[in-house]
Structure 1
Amino acid sequence: MKITGIPAAWPDSEAAALAVQDELRGKVVLDEPGPAPGSGLVTGVDVAYDDERDLVVAAAVVLDAATLEVVEEATAVGRVAFPYVPGLLAFREIPTVLAVLERLDSGPGMVICDGYGLAHPRRFGLASHLGVLTGLPVIGVAKNPFTFTYEQPGPRRGDSAPLLADDGAEVGRALRTQNGTKPVFVSVGHRVSLDGACAHTLGLARRYRLPESTRHADSLCRRALKEAQQASA
């Protein structure tokens, strides 16, 4: 089991991490539409932890956006890179996520994180952080709204409602991906519009509430974590 190392200059304190967020947040690109929905490749990324063993596992699953067929899979195992601090979770995950993306031969295309982009207390969640560091178009599709408020969208697939910050700014959307199911929460990470992010999410969630990218990456990540735990036992 090869374990990915933590970069030498990686922040090791809350103050240092906040300074990095402040520096990188201004580099988020919000004025590009992003790839056309249903075209090219899309890559789902997910992360799982074992804090007792100091392990973090990242999985990446590349899909053909038109057919939703799996093109490639990869996993990476690393050490937890940062203590648990709400709002700074990306610093625990990014080194291993970067490592797993580097292992893809096909190239990731657009990346979908199981998490947040602008829908983050400091407007810089994992999807934004990853996008700025890689230059890739990235969106966040989360299972809950974090600290933001929203009205329930309509009951039909494709119905949506703004996800609002305390100052009234729209930081994402609550999006109904299947009739009568709970919405998912879509936010821009980098180099994709919010309309485009929602269209991609609907295109990837043709049968289930969650995008196929998230479903595949979550399953692979769980298997990889179990294998890493067994190898370190």
Structure 2
Amino acid sequence: MNGSPLHAWNLTPTQAIALQRRLACRVEREDRLDEVRRIAGVDIGFEQGGAITRAAVVVLAPGEGAAPDGAGPGAAVPGLQVVEEAVHREPTRMPYIPGLLSFREVPAALAAFDKLAVRPELVMVDGQGIAHPRRLGVASHLGLWLDLPTIGVAKSRLCGRHGEPGPERGDWAPLLDGDEVIGAVLRSRAGVKPIFVSPGHRISLATALHWVTACLGRTKLPEPTRLADRLASRRGE
């Protein structure tokens, strides 16, 4: 599923930062999506005190009418069903370095994608997209490797500033770095701290917000990343 290799992974932090700056120029921030029939959620966990990286991918199929023409961000995706899951474990390649998490996490995620029998049309990643100091978070980096539309869905802010979104589910405020809009601070559940949504690759912020909001269930996280988070945190399988 990964296609031609994008680059080598055995890089120093200085080399990785330089590569991020080069790759960020290749990230597409406008919509280039096929009809979305399957949505993948991706999350990364760690085992053995961080020595083993555990990547989980969960693929869901939306019910009919998931993305009707002209549907707004509040449209619902009825009947999301899990159609496939994949887990991959491997030795952790890089220590935890803020801003360089994709070099620690993406290799294992790519190996998990290689285990899938189906190819999703959209990927939601637990992490940042372009809401990153060098505009290449985990979702953007993974999207470039897979050549798929990706969305970053993060639980916390990495960079940028924002106002407080409204109190109701679906309210959001722009996430800004200078004058640049790099994402959205989305109230995914009334009365709960917001999540941080940013385009990863091949998708606009408006469409990213649409799909994240459409995939919300009863919890704070959209179903694809919620289920991937649950699978990534399992032990002893």
Give me the whole-angstrom Cα distance separating, in 2, the residues matched to 1:9 and 1:109. 26
User: Which deviates more from structure 2 when the two are superposed, residues 87-96 or residues 204-213?
Assistant: 204-213
Give me the whole-angstrom Cα distance separating, in 1, the residues matched to 2:164 and 2:8. 43
1:161-176 equivalent positions in 2, closer than 5 A: 161-165=173-177, 167-176=178-187
Q: State the Cα distance separating 1:20 from its structure 2 match.
A: 1.7
Q: State the Cα distance separating 1:35 from its structure 2 match.
A: 5.1
1:38-57 equivalent positions in 2, closer than 5 A: 39-50=36-47, 52=49, 54-57=51-54
Q: State the Cα distance separating 1:201 from its structure 2 match.
A: 0.5
Q: State the Cα distance separating 1:179 from its structure 2 match.
A: 2.3
* CA separation of 1:35 and 1:152: change in aligned 2, threshold 3 A: farther
- 1:4 equivalent in structure 2: none
Superposed CA offset, 1:34-65 (max 9, x none): 356xx411000000123646200000000112
- 1:60 equivalent in structure 2: 57
* CA separation of 1:85 and 1:53: change in aligned 2, threshold 3 A: closer
Equivalent residues of 2:152, 2:199 under 8 A apart: yes
Counterpart of 1:133, as a letter, is: W
Q: State the Cα distance separating 1:158 from its structure 2 match.
A: 1.3
* CA separation of 1:33 and 1:8: change in aligned 2, threshold 3 A: closer
- 2:152 equivalent in structure 1: 140
Equivalent residues of 1:141, 1:186 under 8 A apart: yes
Superposed CA offset, 1:68-114 (max 9, x none): 11111010001111122110010001111000011110112211000
* CA separation of 1:149 and 1:72: change in aligned 2, threshold 3 A: same
Q: State the Cα distance separating 1:171 from its structure 2 match.
A: 0.5
* CA separation of 1:18 and 1:53: change in aligned 2, threshold 3 A: closer
Equivalent residues of 2:33, 2:121 under 8 A apart: no
SS in 2 for 1:171: strand
- 1:154 equivalent in structure 2: 166
1:23 matched to 2:22 = yes
Counterpart of 1:227, as a letter, is: G
* CA separation of 1:182 and 1:135: change in aligned 2, threshold 3 A: same
Counterpart of 2:136, as a letter, is: F
SS in 2 for 1:227: coil
Counterpart of 1:159, as a letter, is: D
Alignment root-mean-square deviation, CA: 1.9
Superposed CA offset, 1:6-27 (max 9, x none): x993133111111221221111
Number of aligned positions between the proteins: 217
- 1:190 equivalent in structure 2: 201
What is the aligned counterpart of 2:87 among 61, 67, 75?
A: 75
SS in 1 for 2:42: strand
- 2:189 equivalent in structure 1: 178
**Unpaired segments ≥5 residues, structure 1:** 1-6, 229-233
Equivalent residues of 1:148, 1:163 under 8 A apart: yes
SS in 2 for 1:149: coil
Counterpart of 1:169, as a letter, is: E
1:183-222 equivalent positions in 2, closer than 5 A: 183-222=194-233
* CA separation of 1:51 and 1:119: change in aligned 2, threshold 3 A: farther
**Unpaired segments ≥5 residues, structure 2:** 1-5, 64-78
* CA separation of 1:204 and 1:35: change in aligned 2, threshold 3 A: farther
What is the aligned counterpart of 1:227 among 210, 230, 236?
A: 236
Equivalent residues of 1:59, 1:217 under 8 A apart: yes
Q: State the Cα distance separating 1:206 from its structure 2 match.
A: 2.9
Instruction: Give aligned-pair identity as a percent.
Output: 42
